[in-house]
Amino acid sequence: MMGVVTYAIWLALIALSLAAAALSLDPQLGGPHRRWWWQGLALASAAVLALSPHVVTFSQQELLVFLTINTLVVVSYRLLALTGEFSLGHVVMMGFGAYASALLSKQLAIPVPLSIILAAGLTGLVAFVLAFPLFRMKGFYFLIGSFAAGETIRLLWKAFIGPKGISRIPGVPDIEIGAWEINFWEPVASYYLILVIAAVSIWILWRIEHSHVGLTFHAVHWRDQLAGAVGVNTWRTRTQALVLASFFAGLAGALLAHYITTVNPNRFAVHEMVFVLIWVIVGGTATIWGPIIGLVTLTAINEVLLRDIGYDELRPLFYGVLLVLAMLFLPNGLETLPARLVRHFRRAKLLASQR
Amino acid sequence: MTFGSVDRRRFIGTSALAGAAAATTVHPGRLRAEETVRIGFLAPLTGGVAAWGLPGLYGCEIWAEQKNAAGGVEIGGTSYNVEIVSYDNEYLPDKARTGAQKLISEDGVSFIEMLGGDTMPAVTPIANRAEMLVSTLLPSDLSPDTPFLVAPAEVHPIYNLTGVWWMAENMPEAKTAVICAQDDALGRPSVATYLAAFEAHGIEVKDTIFFDISTTDFAPVMTAMLAHKPDILCLDTAYAEFVNELCKQAFVQNYGGQIISCTADFYADIIANTSEEFMEGVIFQFPDFDDPALNSEDINFNDPNGFFEVYNERHPGQWGAVSWEYASILDLWLDGAQKAGSIEPAAVLGGMKQGGKGAHAFGEANWWGEELFGIDNALVGNWPVVQIQNGKAVIVEFKSIPEWWGEHSATMIKHFEAMGEMWYQRA
Amino acid sequence: MDIAVFLQTCLNATYASSYLALVAVGLVLIFGVMRVVNFAHGELYMAGAYCLFWVFYQNELPFFAGVAVAVLVVAAVGLFLERTMFRPMKDNPLGGLICSIGALLVLQAGAVSLFGVRKKSFAGPYNEAVTLFGVDALTISGQRLVVIAFAVILLGALWAFLRKSRFGWALRAVAQDPEAAALQGISISRISMLAMVLGAALAGAAGALTATIVPTGPYMGHPVIIGAFIVIIVGGLGSLEGAIIASVLYAFTHTFVTTLFDGTIADITGLVLMLIVLVVRPHGLLGKPERA
């Protein structure tokens, strides 16, 4: 019974993000009732997200916490991708936030909520410094250059803080309101906390994308030289995107560190970065929902479905095959699935009516 | 093994890999155990660290299969079938935390075996809250914060002192050493142990060279080591393939002195890569399980020779220290559970530690560790010194770690402190 | 560092540059023609190593039979990847990248299920130490000499092929400007296939030649691909000569720093040097700016 509910929750999360992507991609969808559709979707999402930790098992609650943290990672990654540059250093930026917040709270005894915000800010600052060398490069050179920069930082942690990283990091402090006590060690409490933070962050990122700044991101992506010619400072635009993306990655890392109470260099290795890249590209980058679809779907497959089938050691095999199939059949990402289906049904209907 | 007792998660695996073997063990009318006790296996099964988990899972499956074929295990008057439930933690702390939650709250396991290391700090708070007994292969995971964590199989790297001790007694002419070590949580504490042991036995260490675990070419490492012209090459605790490569390089670069290492898995391959004369006399710490010395009375590992044979038949080329270590922890767990007469984790821990002694694979041992780890949850006693003689690993002597500790504890603590490996120094 | 250690280190570095160059040149070829970042290239190298293990160690056939099988099998794998994934993804470089990651996961899992998770360490037939020019310090295993010799031969042959043959000319034309090449009547599809087969075959050869020198394991491709990516970037994308020069530079730096300090510092040095090169020359040593 529990299993059915679990799958229902995951399917609902996938369906909701697909619906959001469909609405974003097709401005005609819903016609005059479009606003209602959005409102209905928002309500349904809120209900599913609020309910889900209470109906799934304990270990699935943990998965939901990590899913929410990763949502912040993929959505912020997309911000940089908007400018046309794909980085392989994003997970190291996440790690930077994790290490910074761990050290600030543990060594300097700075209160955890403050250390999280400071760590995110420091991550943005480091990104700003890195932008100087990195944005001399473009395309594949940037991809590998960002990897080198990230890997250097990661190896420095290993050399100077140690291969085991930091453990016994203080958690987010409990909150007591009268008799009501919230303990953030509990996955449900942390889930709600991180969900609120992620929701606010996504809202901010969405606003940025649709602001004047966001439009220049798109411009820099599609018409690099033209944008430069009409007075857009491409370097500054890309730096803005990198700093913002890194700020939110650092935030995600800090939240992770205080939740699992440990960080180590291996957790932020290129292997983990590859998974972020997979989530984002398999989901699609045209809408803010694309990376979320990729993340939720692939997490459900890798952490729920494939583990349930058993035979843990072959999970990478199935996962690899699914990645290839996803790219072959939906090269622009899972986010295009609803539109593809709609087109398919319309054509089938048309054919049927002609007969 | 009957169909009903095959663990659902493992069914595909066991049936595919060992179909024939399983079929022969099905005996209609055999005694069926009344209850099932589940044991969690939370280690990396995929990814770069899988070699430290997967071969151990194979060993545990053989252990459980053998016990179940014999009608299960008897604990407190009830007979239990043993079921191993695995969860691949990919050596990541967040997945280990999720896995621990699942094993404890959904699978209802009574004990969790882990590799430890990077994944342990995320699991410790969960285990403490659930009062779940957890074992690790890496005693550096132990601290006063881990009352439910035991390191009962190998107290790495402390036993490495036995090899140096034996070498000092039997090869007094070797006076200088160079150490190389992989730069990680496995290599560093091991260096501290070797430094202490060399100092205690009057051997001068000329240099210690660390290499990253992504190293593939060991020629430069060996060149740097041999530049000191040492009597002894100490390979520290390194992954099996590193030991192999280092030996090959030492051979090619004309080294002629003594070699000491923590492990020498697949030493037959190393001999093929070098020569029998070159490898003659190499000292390490892990015996073959067909060694006749393991059939002695005080060895607690059940039928080591038979286990070795089944394992190699089923998983050729996968034997190594972890193959038996996880399984030997199951023996200790069973002993503790039988002493306690219960499978309740806290009670089993009490049973395991009864009288401060435990049934270690290599004989009765003491619960120890307060001075190095801040808690007496490591099981140390005798450990074998193994030497390659005529192309075969032979146990030359069992040496008592507690005896050495009584004399040289201060030296060891000094080096652990210098390496930053004492429990209170860990970040 | 005395002179003996210096000479030995030079020899070690020469070996390291040779197999790195084999892998990197294949990667450059694939990228140059198909614009695909082949993350699975390290796994093609790994597949080559396992082919040798299978033929030479398990079936006890001659060493060079193993190398030949590795070249053929890995070239076939390359061809399969090109047909099934990279060609459909030809206008979608990120899609190609994700597909190559999928292929990487499948190849690794395949190696685990066929050969187990533990690494294999086995001896080649030319294992005895060879002393060069009668200088004691210049001692190297015969097996490493074989790798160096093969790298020189294979890369020389590739160079001659690209310079002298019609196919080679076409291949370079496509790498420089696919549209112009297509207008000249060059079949991009056939050239892509050729580039992939050649690149994969080189990776397979490198894997087979080094299988008895480095531990052969399912995840052995990872450090190699990272080294190769660094090298092709420093050399400049699309430049075979750049890749070879960068292989030598990188291998010598890495080997000397490893000998003098340690491996972690060598990794950091390699990465920082690469960043410095890219800051000074954002298109690598011999690369040309990519058109937007």
Using the 3D structure, point to which of A217, A240, A267 is the last residue of a domain.
A267
C99 touches chain A (CB under 8 A): yes
pLDDT at B16: 38
Q: Check whether residue A164 and residue A313 sit in a common domain.
A: no
- A195 assigned to some structural domain: yes
pLDDT at B32: 60
What mean pLDDT is predicted for residues A112-141?
92
* Nearest CA-CA distance, residue C58 and chain B, Å: 12
A194 touches chain B (CB under 8 A): no
What mean pLDDT is predicted for residues A24-52?
88
**Residue C103 to residue A147, Cβ atoms within 8 A:** no
Which chain A residues are within 8 Å of C108, Cβ to Cβ? 316
pLDDT at A175: 83
Q: Check whether residue A93 and residue A211 sit in a common domain.
A: yes
Using the 3D structure, point to which of A245, A267, A289 is the last residue of a domain.
A267
Which chain A residues are within 8 Å of B91, Cβ to Cβ? 266
pLDDT at B7: 40
Residues 6+ apart with CB under 8 A from C166: none
What mean pLDDT is predicted for residues C233-249?
88
Q: Check whether residue A278 and residue A255 sit in a common domain.
A: no
* Nearest CA-CA distance, residue A127 and chain B, Å: 25
Which B residues, 33 through 72, put their C-beta within 8 Å of a C-beta on chain C?
Answer: 46-48, 50-51, 54-55
Confidence of residue A177 (pLDDT cuts 50, 70, 90): confident
- A27 assigned to some structural domain: yes
What mean pLDDT is predicted for residues C162-183?
82
Helix B321-340 and helix B54-69, axial crossing angle in degrees, nearest 10 = 50
- How far does chain A reach from its first CA to its final CA, in angstroms? 45
Per residue in A248-266, pLDDT (tens digit) is 999 999 999 999 999 999 9
- A199 assigned to some structural domain: yes
Per residue in B300-330, pLDDT (tens digit) is 788 888 899 999 999 888 888 889 899 999 9
CA distance C245 to C232: 10
Per residue in A61-102, pLDDT (tens digit) is 999 999 999 999 999 999 988 888 899 999 999 999 999 999
Confidence of residue C289 (pLDDT cuts 50, 70, 90): low
Which chain B residues are within 8 Å of C1, Cβ to Cβ? 227
Pairing of strands B204-211, B176-182: parallel
The overall longest dimension of chain B from CA atoms, in Å, is: 68
Looking at the predicted structure, is the pLDDT value of residue A291 above 90? Answer: yes
* Nearest CA-CA distance, residue C20 and chain B, Å: 12
Using the 3D structure, point to which of A267, A292, A312 is the last residue of a domain.
A267
* Structure-block tokens of residue A209: 């994308």
Q: How many CB pairs (< 8 A) connect B and C?
A: 130
C-alpha dihedral, B236 to B241 to B243 to B246, nearest 10°? -120
Domain ranges of chain C: 15-219
C37 touches chain A (CB under 8 A): yes
Least Cα distance to A63 among B289, C205, C45, B98 occurs for B98
Which chain B residues are within 8 Å of A172, Cβ to Cβ? none
- Which of B212, B239, B242 lies at the smallest CB-CB distance from C264? B212
The answer to whether A255 and A168 are in contact (CB under 8 A) is no
* Structure-block tokens of residue A71: 């949502």
* Nearest CA-CA distance, residue C240 and chain A, Å: 16
* Nearest CA-CA distance, residue C232 and chain A, Å: 10
Q: Check whether residue A118 and residue A179 sit in a common domain.
A: yes
Sketch out chain B's domains with CATH numbers.
33-156+293-380 (3.40.50.2300), 160-284+384-418 (3.40.50.2300)
Annotate chain C with three-state secondary structure.
CCHHHHHHHHHHHHHHHHHHHHHHHHHHHHHHHHCCCCCCHHHHHHHHHHHHHHHHHHCCCCHHHHHHHHHHHHHHHHHHHHHHHHCCCCCCHHHHHHHHHHHHHHHHHHHHHHHCCCCECCCCCCCCEEEHHHCCCCEEEHHHHHHHHHHHHHHHHHHHHHHHCHHHHHHHHHHHCHHHHHHCCCCHHHHHHHHHHHHHHHHHHHHHHHCCCCCECCCCHHHHHHHHHHHHHHHCCCCHHHHHHHHHHHHHHHHHHHHHCCHHHHHHHHHHHHHHHHHHCCCCCCCCCCCC
Which DSSP symbol is given to A84? T
Interface test with B, best of A1, A167, A312, A319 (most B CBs within 10 A): A312
- Which of A57, A166, A316 lies at the smallest CB-CB distance from B46? A316
- Which of B12, B50, B98 lies at the smallest CB-CB distance from A63? B98
Alpha helices, DSSP H, located in B119-239: 120-130, 160-170, 187-200, 219-226
- A171 assigned to some structural domain: yes
- A350 assigned to some structural domain: no
- Which of B46, B212, B244 lies at the smallest CB-CB distance from C121? B244
Domain limits for position A98: 58-267
Q: Considering its fold, how many domains does chain A have in total?
A: 2
**Residue A59 to residue B94, Cβ atoms within 8 A:** no
Which B residues, 174 through 233, put their C-beta within 8 Å of a C-beta on chain C?
Answer: 183, 209-212, 214-217, 219-221, 223-224, 227
Q: Which residue has the higher pLDDT, A296 or C288?
A: A296
Looking at the predicted structure, is the pLDDT value of residue A268 above 60? Answer: yes
Q: Check whether residue A258 and residue A328 sit in a common domain.
A: no
pLDDT at B33: 64
Confidence of residue A2 (pLDDT cuts 50, 70, 90): low
Length of chain C: 292
pLDDT at C1: 63
pLDDT at B3: 34
Q: Check whether residue A16 and residue A92 sit in a common domain.
A: no
Looking at the predicted structure, is the pLDDT value of residue C227 above 60? Answer: yes
**Residue A324 to residue C103, Cβ atoms within 8 A:** yes
Per residue in C48-96, pLDDT (tens digit) is 999 999 999 989 899 999 999 999 999 999 999 999 999 888 888 888 9
pLDDT at A185: 81
**Residue C85 to residue A277, Cβ atoms within 8 A:** no
CA-nearest residue to B49 within chain A is: A266
- How far does chain B reach from its first CA to its final CA, in angstroms? 47
B94 touches chain A (CB under 8 A): yes
B252 touches chain C (CB under 8 A): yes
**Residue A320 to residue C102, Cβ atoms within 8 A:** yes
- A162 assigned to some structural domain: yes
Interface test with B, best of C107, C113, C117, C255 (most B CBs within 10 A): C117
pLDDT at B2: 34
pLDDT at C290: 55
* Nearest CA-CA distance, residue A37 and chain C, Å: 32
What mean pLDDT is predicted for residues C153-175?
87
Q: Check whether residue A196 and residue A257 sit in a common domain.
A: yes
The series of mean pLDDT values per 10 residues for chain B, 427 residues long, is 36 37 42 82 90 92 93 91 94 94 93 92 92 92 92 87 93 92 84 94 91 78 89 89 87 89 86 88 89 82 87 87 90 92 93 86 87 90 92 91 91 90 79
What mean pLDDT is predicted for residues C262-278?
87
* Structure-block tokens of residue A290: 């694309």
* Nearest CA-CA distance, residue C246 and chain A, Å: 15
pLDDT at C245: 92
**Residue B86 to residue A312, Cβ atoms within 8 A:** yes
C90 touches chain B (CB under 8 A): no
Q: Check whether residue A151 and residue A226 sit in a common domain.
A: yes
The answer to whether B152 and B360 are in contact (CB under 8 A) is yes
Looking at the predicted structure, is the pLDDT value of residue C283 above 90? Answer: no
Confidence of residue A201 (pLDDT cuts 50, 70, 90): very high
Which chain A residues are within 8 Å of C105, Cβ to Cβ? 316-317, 319-320, 323
pLDDT at C111: 94
pLDDT at A223: 66
pLDDT at B12: 36
pLDDT at B100: 95
